[in-house]
Amino acid sequence: MERKVLGRSRVGIAGVGGLGSHVAVALVRAGVGGLVLADFDSVEESNLERQCYFRDQVGRFKVEALSETLVRINPVVEIRCFPVRVTADNLVELFDGVDVMVEAFDRADQKSLLVSTFRRRFPAIPLVAASGVAGIGPANRIITRRAVENLYICGDGKSGVGAHTPLQAPRVGIVAHHQALAVLRLLHGLDPCDADNGDGCAIEN
Amino acid sequence: MRLKINGKERQYPEPISLEELLQQLGIERQGLVVELNREILPLERLAEIELKDNDALELIQFVGGG
């Protein structure tokens, strides 16, 4: 994709749990000017072990709690918040106009629904998804790969959440930052996985 | 029938539907995204797809957690 001006770019994030909340924070810190956040969930005490929320935010919609945190980092960031469940029907309305999209859901069936629907409705917009984030497997197994045209997947591709592989803050955090970096590279007009195409040292804002 | 699945050529003696192929390969439908000849298939249509000679498939399996 073409290079964008970071401060004027807009990134959509579907799901603001362990992945999406950290992707949002990283992107705002990096200078992305606009975010569209969608998640119907509210903050629970059990989320605090890996999601970017605080004890005094328990009970509030995650998208609202997260926007407050983001505005504390950058008061001029433009955030659109939707405390709704993302479906095949409302996806276009929610995320129309984003430069890059992030899939950050928890359940496998929500991931495939978002990815297949978004890819069909917005074939020209890059989508950065995640798969294989659970457990405490080595960090070096986590990669960013291009699956098909305009679809990048971060994670080890295998470690689903289960009884022996709960979600752990460090590994979910690594994948979230793989996603955020992939978004940043896309906004700079760079391929997220191409090691030969720019090491990112020459980034200008 | 010849199919290209995730970049690898495979030969099938009989015509096969997508559903049968997924069963043979032991691929779960949960979390699956399918691209057929560079077009992503709608999830609700996966069961109806008949495959043709030289079709190219990308099968992308998502696992839960986030």
Least Cα separation, residue B62 to chain A (angstroms): 5
Going by C-alpha positions, the residue among A16, A10, A33 that lies closest to residue A106 is: A16
CATH architecture designation of domain A6-187: 3-Layer(aba) Sandwich (3.40)
CB of B6 within 8 Å of a chain A CB? The answer is no
Nearest to A119 by CA among A90, A151, A87, A153: A151
pLDDT the model gives residue A20: 98
Which of B31, B63, B66 has its CB closest to that of A18?
B66
CA atoms of A146 and A195, how far apart (whole Å): 13
Q: Under 8 Å CB-to-CB from A202, ≥6 apart: which residues?
A: none
Q: Which residues of A touch B22 (CB under 8 A)?
A: none
Q: Report pLDDT for A205.
A: 43
For residue A52, give the 3-state DSSP assignment.
coil
Q: Would you state the pLDDT for residue A194?
A: 77
Successive 10-residue mean pLDDT values, chain A, 205 residues: 92 98 98 98 98 98 98 98 97 97 98 97 97 97 96 97 94 98 97 70 48
Give alpha helix (H) positions in chain A: 20-30, 62-73, 91-95, 108-121, 169-187
What's the pLDDT tens digit per position in B13-59?
A: 999 999 999 999 999 999 999 999 999 999 889 989 999 999 999 99
Domain locations in chain A as residue ranges = 6-187
Per-residue confidence (pLDDT) for residue A3, from 0 to 100 = 87
In CATH, what class is B2-61? Answer: alpha beta
The ipTM value here is 0.93
